Amino acid sequence: MKISVKVPATTANIGAGFDCLGMAFPIYNTITIEETVLPGTGIEINVLKDENSSGNMMLEHVPLDETSIIYKAVELLYNSIGQSPSELKITVQSQIPVARGLGSSASVIVGGLLAANELLGRPADEVALLSIATEVEGHPDNVTPAIVGGLVLSSQEEDGRVVYTKLNWPDEWAITVCIPDYELSTDISRSVLPKEVPFQDAVFNAKRLGMFVQAVNTKNEDLIRLALQDRLHQPYRMKLVPGLDKITCSLKHEEDVFGCVLSGAGPAILVISRKNNLDRIRSIVKETWEDLNVKVDIRTLPVERQGAQIISYE
């Protein structure tokens, strides 16, 4: 049996929603799991570059053995029903840029889980899949929209369950995703965060997250400008993304721009705006990074409202 699952890219945090807000985008990895018939062949993992994607932005650093996060996710699922995976061929067709803050690791975790779940006859429901995916990824902000699609507010509870609610992103607001041509690992990006934060900064973010939910629900432009501010992670990560401070400062003077935020741990950034003057936004970002000899892939993307989908069942 052979199962293929298409999983969307995701962004996380979106300003003040550190480790709890996530959104899916229409860039995809396709993960295929096939049961092999030869006993003793073990686990085989292959990563294929998509012809429509830049060669230096692929998921080429995925370990191709049992240390891979794909295998870990599959193994946890098998173990949950008292089995161990064996004789599986796993193939990743990669479009999502790696180590840019667009959920490349979440995509392969989710794709591997959903494909393996089909192979096993669907023993795991959505609750179990979210819990296992979050255990492997470490937090639910990327894996949840990767599974369910859309803009999602999620939380992992003490018992391991992931609870979430979907928000409806206004169609009138554009999201311009700016992806520089260098990597920034999540481990490095998390290493600069303090272990403790000032009480007033925690309160600031709590207020901004509340504003974000209300702004999205009511399409309130004045409120979303405030809601995209953050004090828990972006100020500390700014130094890891050269040019981000200049881009942010320049965009503040653009009337149609609501805000500029890191995508996940970075270095990709999201510019939230009206659907006017998008060429101006692209020009500011491109010119700023080109001055630093950084090439950038800029895409204005809709929210992918569907999560991971099974696209082939043989």
| Predicted structure pTM score | 0.91
Residue-wise over 252-290: b if at least 16 C-beta within 10 A, else e? eebebbbbbbbbbbbbbbbbbbeeeebeebbebbbebbe
Task: Write out pLDDT tens, residues 257-268.
Answer: 999 999 999 999
Q: Which domains are delineated in the chain?
A: 2-167+302-313 (3.30.230.10), 173-300 (3.30.70.890)
Q: Which residues are registered as beta bridge partners of 163?
A: 155
Task: Write out pLDDT tens, residues 125-163.
Answer: 999 999 999 999 999 999 999 999 999 999 999 998 999
Q: CA torsion, points 227, 233, 235, 240, in degrees to nearest 10?
A: -130
Residue 57, pLDDT > 60, answer: no
Is pLDDT larger for residue 43 or for residue 93?
93
Q: How much is the pLDDT for 53?
A: 52
Task: Write out pLDDT tens, residues 290-313.
Answer: 999 999 999 999 999 999 999 987
Token pair of 74 as six digits: 């599959």
Task: Write out pLDDT tens, residues 196-254.
Answer: 999 999 999 999 999 999 999 999 999 999 999 999 999 999 999 999 999 999 999 99
Token pair of 166 as six digits: 């979907």
